[in-house]
Amino acid sequence: MDSKVTGARVLLCVSGGIAAYKAAALTSTLVQRGAVVDVAMTAHAERFVTALTFSALTARPVYTTLWDAPEQIPHIRLVRQAQVALLAPATANMIAKLAYGIADDLVSTLLLAARIPVLIAPAMNEAMYEDAATQANLAILRARGYELIEPERGFLAEREYGTGRLAGEERILAALDVALLRSRSLAGKRVLITAGPTREAFDPVRFISNASTGAMGIALAREARARGAEVTLILGPTLLEPPGDVATVRVTTACRMHDAALAQGESDLIIATAAVADWRPAETSPSKRKKGDEDLVVRMVRNPDVLAALAARRRAFVVGFAAETDDHEPAARAKCAQKGLDAIAVNDVSGERGFGLGENALVLLWGQDGRLDLGRASKPVLAARLLDEVGVLMAARHGEA
């Protein structure tokens, strides 16, 4: 059977529910389909199924504590070796731990350290699944980019009928196929991303800038890297930390961002999320300007157009960003055509919406009338949606679709 799991590295995390026995059957199927499966178990999971069962099925060691081969730092090594992680069954307790960043055993530590797609397959009593706390925790995880494989309705361990049965094996395998396809979608591609604001100095202590934090560009860099791309991030001044496995060039001014971006080699994909200042003071005082009674007039000059310069490199597929307060889509389409972009993502920033770490809403535009509403979501989720569609557009441009 054709499956994306063939040859894939899968990290299966098993938490303590009666459905743990189904995780053993799933492991057998994954191995039969050619996957390399590493299994990590909680102490409660071992009450239902032994580590020996999984070891026999995978012909590999099974990890149950942070102290299994501690010299190899398993909670980091395992997630870096894997292409996708699956938590099945996912108990209410483990879901709550992930939602609130509690890392007190191997499984929770593994999943919190993961920079790969993480799939969660809940299994529990219907009352626990429908409880407001569990639903709120699942909403948190969805917003952070975790993929949820909804449980099914049927006969439960308590001899009741309700929603809470672990999703069927075929549904889980299908979700793994989708996640693995996504994780390889940019393999071998070179991606250049600009992010954050620029600062244009007026004097040593004052500057012109904007409210951008670079969160969207950082999320895109992390997602592109997770999909196998070689990523370079040109990052303006921000307090946010970029992904550790992404080559990052830090800049301050628009001129420096322009020069740093053009200094990079050829790219397959360029995504310009940076909020670049259009103007800068014509003169910068070498010392702090003292306040006086008079008004101050500052002459401004144009900055180089970073996005237009990057778009001139026609080998790359170029995606711009448009932060608009009025006539959002017409303004973005005009910018897309004027700068010669392949696509543009537009959002409403009136009242500084869209800036910061919160949710954003994006619409992707291309061509004469191409349009896809990516919806409102967290920036990691929007990054994944954007790269999904950009992958389709890139394939179409190269005649692959």
Annotated catalytic residues are 210
86: CB partners within 8 A, 6+ apart: 10, 11, 12, 13, 118, 119, 121, 172, 176
89 preceded by a cis bond (ω within 30 of 0): yes
Number of H helices, E strands in the chain: 13, 20
Burial class for 1, CB neighbours closer than 10 Å (0-12, 13-18, 19+): exposed
Radius of gyration of the chain (CA): 24
Question: Residue 78, Cβ neighbours under 10 Å: how many?
Answer: 22
CB contact at 8 A, 287 and 204: yes
Asked whether 246 and 233 are in contact (CB, 8 A), the reply is yes
DSSP state of 197: B
